[in-house]
Amino acid sequence: MNYQTLTGLTALVATLSLSTAVSATPSVNSTQPNVSVESKQLIAQSVGQASFYGNKPGEGGPLTANGERYNPGGYTAAHRSLPFGTRVRVTSNNGRSVVVRINDRGPFIGGRIIDLSVAAARAIGLTNTGVGKVRMEVLSVGDGRRQGRRNR
């Protein structure tokens, strides 16, 4: 695990510890991650807006932040700080959920907590509206490794 990943994971754990100390019960309306006492598999959760991003011009899609090609048919997502490889469950207000793997960085628009691939957005019924309120639950923390070399 590299220094940047370790620092980000340490910050996430510190935030989770602080939010647990401040509130004994998890808040579903907060955009900050909270420790859940309801499920042993759940590591953290947050609530906010999700969006999705489609395939941009280019053969096979652009490279994601971890170095792999974006696949609109894959169950992947972008998050600002979770380590690459982290698996999260995203549940929309309609009750539909999908498990995705973090392989990119974003979203960079205020209030949004995750950007989903087209397939993941379709699975929870988000493609018609483009943006919607979701609950994001961290199921497992990835190792943060990049998949390939990025050309800059």
- Summarize the confidence of residues 117-137 as an average pLDDT: 95
Query: Does the global pTM surpass 0.85?
Result: no
Category of 145 on φ-ψ map: left (φ > 0), alpha (ψ -120 to 50) or beta = beta
Domain boundaries in the chain? 3-140
- Could you say which of 2.30.110.10, 3.10.20.340, 2.40.40.10, 3.10.50.40 is the CATH number of the domain covering 3-140? 2.40.40.10
Question: Are the CB atoms for 145 and 64 separated by under 8 Å?
Answer: no
Residue pLDDT, tens place only, 11-45 = 454 444 333 333 333 333 333 344 343 445 678 88
Q: Once rounded to an integer, what is the mean pLDDT over residues 65-87?
A: 95
- Least confident among 1-15, 64-78, 99-113, 129-143: 1-15
> CB count, 10 Å around CB of 62?
13
